[in-house]
Amino acid sequence: MTTHPSPAAITRYADREAALDEVTVWSIEVHLEGCADCRAMVARGTTDDTQAMLARIAGRVGERIAAEPAPVRRRWSPVRNRWLVWHLVPWLTMTVAVLGCAVLLQALAPDLPSLVTLLAPVVPLPGVAFAWSRRHDPAWELIAGTPAAGLAMLVRRTAAVLAVLLPALVLAGARTGVSLALTLLPCLAFTAGTIALGAFVGVRRAAVWLGAAWALAVVVPAVVSTHLPVVLRPGSSLAWALLTLALAGLAATRADSFRRLSSH
């Protein structure tokens, strides 16, 4: 059975002065597309002039549609868009290329500290930021009004980013002989930190802030001194694992902050 919006909700939707939250507006609009009775209820609240104007617009739109060739329909897969945004592909490609350059530089300058280890924490940040951005998701309006939007979708898209980058990190670490734990655990910790901080300031800002802080506080001093910092030396793996769990738990408690597909 189809659940119709309440008459009060329909009335408030038709009233320009009434304030409705975005989720309610989108759910009513989706319902109106397939329910003639509710559309008629909305039409009763409009004036004769408005109805005449809508009829003229509908007539002209119908004429243009009939005159134009049929459009080529592209299949939109909600399952695919819940997991991956195709605009991410250039960013993932760039990130993998940066890891390749780090491996090459490590071979050319072995006296430098492990560049793969230094870059591992910030490797997923661009992908996570763009995976949860309305500016870079062409299906944003279709997804944001569905129950699938929220922390669960952000986690799914983050998992898709990690599914591409973690194997690249493992391969880069194997080529340079660095510790696998000190490569993957900081990566996961910064990923969880981006999501947790994103609940307060937005995912994109969180990614930029964390990336900039890591570069200034760790990467630059390590390159200048040619020594890895204490936080990336053997023995710090347990601390990274506990930090990852703590940040993931904090993100889970802020699930309500991710109900809208927005990076801000």
- Residues 118-160 pLDDT 10s: 999 999 988 888 776 666 666 566 666 665 667 777 888 888 8
Q: In angstroms, how far is CA 224 from the centroid of its own chain?
A: 34
pLDDT at 160: 84
Mean predicted confidence (pLDDT) in 96-108:
87
pLDDT at 68: 72
Amino acid, single-letter form, for residue 40: A
pLDDT at 264: 46
DSSP string, 184-216: HHHHHHHHHHHHHHHHHH-HHHHHHHHHHHHII
* Residue 106, pLDDT above cutoff 70: yes
Mean predicted confidence (pLDDT) in 18-26:
77
* Cα dihedral: 28, 34, 39, 40 (round 10): -150
Higher pLDDT, 58 or 148: 58
Q: Provide the H-helix boundaries in the chain.
A: 7-14, 22-34, 36-44, 48-67, 78-83, 88-108, 115-119, 125-131, 140-144, 151-176, 181-201, 203-214, 220-225, 237-253
- In which band, very low, low, confident or very high, does the pLDDT at 86 lie, cut at 50, 70 and 90? low
Q: In angstroms, how far is CA 23 from the centroid of its own chain?
A: 18
Distances (CA, A) of 37 to 10, 16, 26, 29: 11, 21, 18, 13
Q: Quote the crossing angle between the two packed helices 7-14 and 36-44, to the nearest 10°.
A: 50
Instruction: Tell me if 191 sits within 8 A of 123, measured CB to CB.
Output: no
Mean pLDDT, all residues of the chain? 79
DSSP 101: H
pLDDT at 247: 93
* Residue 92, pLDDT above cutoff 50: yes
* Residue 243, pLDDT above cutoff 80: yes
* Residue 76, pLDDT above cutoff 50: no
Q: What is the percentage of the chain residues whose pLDDT exceeds 90?
A: 16
pLDDT at 79: 46
Mind listing the pLDDT tens digit for each residue in 46-57? 666 666 777 788
